[in-house]
Structure 1
């Protein structure tokens, strides 16, 4: 569990504690013995989490210091017994290049040293030259990263992500919406080959995927049961991002390195999130909005989001997904969502505290605002989803190619990065709960009003 998740858990525990007090206050009475016991139990958990978070924040602060540029050296004073176990992971292959900028400079202007001849070439339509391992994390840090680690000692072992080049601007996982929360399948061998995994054929058999359970009397014959299975196949699709830089900047590859990697990372994050949220499956992933297992809830009033809409969406969420779910809302919906109230006049949107890592919540569930979903009033302006039921299959890449021809007269170069990825929902149709009637799903979207 990472630091953000610990803070979210702390916020949830505080909300539960507050709910106990609010109930007693609204009924004009003291806490019952059972409520006192629940309150004290929650307080014990809160105290323990506060200590854990405090320790985790200290570790993070030390990691941030270790990542400071070379002109600001820092080495924490550690216990010698622990410091002895502090070691760097094996150095990644850099292909003979000093930085990502120098590598791209060689791709564009040629490499008299012949280092590019030793690097793999892309086999897809985009071609390109594979980025050396040492620089892959500068483009896709969520897929490729090394780390400092501390061996187990008296205080136990833990990992501190620190081995990223000084000139790299680290991409925070929070900037990507889907990937940090999804179930990611590594590239494997071959990296771009199709992978097929089983998915339960739910149908009318309920959430247990066709398994029927019977109570059997003594001596009675046991019935035969069987679970139906479907298949979910993922085949990584090639996707490319590009940017244009001046030849003058590119020749100064020491200065261009961070600039180019930052631009490319931003493009990669946006492209993946758009596909995982809204993709139609045509040469790209099938996004949550278009998945076969998604439930669409019709809103009450066109162009609006009401508290009843939100409650109706929550009612369609797979019950066990509530602890992992997140709301994804378009930025244009923020003014309406921020003012939503329940029947008693209580606000159901709670502003978080970014300084403490506590997220904004809607009905107690974290909410993210973005421009990557449809605008207010359209289907998908509000989504409730448990991304652990969304599969991402990584493929080969990244590869880089550079071209002088498009902007030859302007002395500019087009730099393109190629990679391969696919994604789709694991649940292929809404699930029927044990009552045999209620339909739920890990993916719920707000639709336009019913015709």
Structure 2
């Protein structure tokens, strides 16, 4: 139907329907009637902008009513009920973890600390503690008993999520969930690519119908054994009594940052005795010795070039430089000698006005005080953290005491996490050709 014949208002509609010939044309068939009604509705909406807003409001209202009703097949909707289980926001969330049974009851730190604070004497608090212990005891064979209360999985995973954002190692390492205190993890026992790869796979070129030579890789395993990391703090009782909102902020920010801090220290330089084995102490780590005549506590361009040359080729795209803050002056003033002259090799042009590029030989540079101090072994490292394993125990506990610091009117609080970390590769690799071994962990030796 031509647009010029379509009415746009109620008056024009009445006029069209009062015309016998027009009415006959409109009612000629179901199709002409449907087309007329559709065109009229479209033109009417154009003539009154408020119609579109009314349609939008009514659509939203109807959609809201649908969402309030029963779950529709194929649609996953957010449950906004006050007692609903919160949506997991962390990739560390494990629905099968012991603490997952507590998520519906404790949706935030405020509700959890209100119940587990040693100074809480309400019936609600006693009932909540009993429920936590009941669930904790049902996992007695896999959850160590330290006297504390099991932390809900939603809160545990949130602690790890925030820690992930501030950590140097965890955010780049290979994280392995641990449902028990000890988890064996497979590895390929590879030490050389000279005649085979992946610890024993050998390839042969053979003639048609020729005899094949047997070969097989040599597999080993790494035992991840959860070590106990205890975070301890003393908190004024007033925070528990009057300002749980402030305390929740503390738990959402300070504890995750502390967790990331102490984990990073262990993942970097831990000796493996009662704590993770840090990448600086990895059996596969390669140390680059200083140059002939190199002054103490200095870093020269040749050090970095040689470190880069010893990185495992498959790790080049993931490797990062990890350096102590004290190394920055050496890196920023480092020069490449060319004959009797030379030039800066890192900062480049700009007269010192622009920020440094924070990349060396194309790989990112991460400054951290957790690396060795300048001049010591490992003050700057080239690392592929894809070869570092972190074992995450799927249970975390919290405990408070009002007696230990009774005279100070403080609550002693501790959070116990269990975690392990160790290098995945146990030996530097001898390449097929070349005179130097290769590794995903390369550090500079001490320059005394």
Task: Kindly provide the CA deviation profile for residues 196-239 of structure 1, in whole angstroms up to 9, marking residues without a partner as x.
Answer: 31323324656532222232245643333232222222121121
Distance 1:347 1:230, change over 3 A: farther
- Listed as ranges, the gaps of 5+ residues in structure 1 are 1-78, 142-170, 352-356
1:178 is aligned to 169
TM-score, length of structure 1 as denominator length? 0.67
Task: Kindly provide the CA deviation profile for residues 370-390 of structure 1, in whole angstroms up to 9, marking residues without a partner as x.
Answer: 111111011111111111111
CA contact (8 A) 2:176 2:389 kept: yes
State the distance in 1 between where 2:105 and 2:216 align.
57
1:312 aligns to 2:312 (yes or no): no
CA contact (8 A) 2:187 2:425 kept: no
1:216 is aligned to 206
CA contact (8 A) 1:342 1:348 kept: yes
Deviation at 1:174, TM superposition (A): 4.3
1:439 aligns to 2:428 (yes or no): no
Task: Kindly provide the CA deviation profile for residues 55-111 of structure 1, in whole angstroms up to 9, marking residues without a partner as x.
Answer: xxxxxxxxxxxxxxxxxxxxxxxx99x999784377235453463134224322135
2:160 is aligned to 140
Question: 148, 161, 167: which is aligned to 1:128?
Answer: 148
1:248 is aligned to 238
Question: 108, 129, 134: which is aligned to 1:116?
Answer: 129
The range that moved more, 90-99 or 391-400, is 90-99
1:4 is aligned to none
The range that moved more, 292-301 or 309-318, is 292-301
Task: Kindly provide the CA deviation profile for residues 18-43 of structure 1, in whole angstroms up to 9, marking residues without a partner as x.
Answer: xxxxxxxxxxxxxxxxxxxxxxxxxx
> Where does 1:34-183 land on structure 2 (aligned, <5 Å)?
87-88=77-78, 91-92=85-86, 93-94=102-103, 96-97=105-106, 99-108=108-117, 109-110=119-120, 111-113=122-124, 114-119=127-132, 120-121=135-136, 123-124=143-144, 126-141=146-161, 171=162, 173-183=164-174
1:235 is aligned to 225
2:275 is aligned to 284
State the distance in 2 between where 1:330 and 1:215 align.
49
1:328 aligns to 2:328 (yes or no): no
Query: Max radius of gyration: which structure?
Result: 2
State the distance in 1 between where 2:146 and 2:331 align.
43
State the distance in 2 between where 1:125 and 1:97 align.
21
CA contact (8 A) 2:321 2:380 kept: yes
Deviation at 1:279, TM superposition (A): 1.1
Deviation at 1:303, TM superposition (A): 1.0
Task: Kindly provide the CA deviation profile for residues 262-296 of structure 1, in whole angstroms up to 9, marking residues without a partner as x.
Answer: 22111100111111111111111111011111111
Distance 1:255 1:425, change over 3 A: same
1:349 aligns to 2:346 (yes or no): yes
Aligned length: 336
> What value does the CA root-mean-square deviation take over the aligned residues?
3.0
Question: 423, 426, 434: which is aligned to 1:425?
Answer: 423
Deviation at 1:317, TM superposition (A): 0.2
1:43 is aligned to none
State the distance in 2 between where 1:290 and 1:213 align.
34
> Where does 1:402-421 land on structure 2 (aligned, <5 Å)?
402-421=400-419
CA contact (8 A) 2:298 2:447 kept: no
CA contact (8 A) 1:249 1:255 kept: yes
Distance 1:112 1:415, change over 3 A: same
State the distance in 2 between where 1:445 and 1:432 align.
17
The range that moved more, 246-255 or 101-110, is 101-110
3-state DSSP class of the match of 1:396?
strand
3-state DSSP class of the match of 1:323?
coil
> Where does 1:183-198 land on structure 2 (aligned, <5 Å)?
183-187=174-178, 190-198=179-187
The range that moved more, 322-331 or 191-200, is 191-200
3-state DSSP class of the match of 1:289?
helix
- Listed as ranges, the gaps of 5+ residues in structure 2 are 1-58, 68-74, 87-101, 349-354
Task: Kindly provide the CA deviation profile for residues 328-383 of structure 1, in whole angstroms up to 9, marking residues without a partner as x.
Answer: 001111111122233454544359xxxxx997211211010011111101111111
Question: 383, 386, 402: which is aligned to 1:385?
Answer: 383
CA contact (8 A) 2:404 2:411 kept: yes
CA contact (8 A) 1:242 1:264 kept: no
CA contact (8 A) 1:102 1:253 kept: no
Deviation at 1:173, TM superposition (A): 4.1
2:333 is aligned to 339
1:226 is aligned to 216
State the distance in 2 between where 1:346 and 1:314 align.
20
The range that moved more, 264-273 or 108-117, is 108-117
1:376 aligns to 2:374 (yes or no): yes
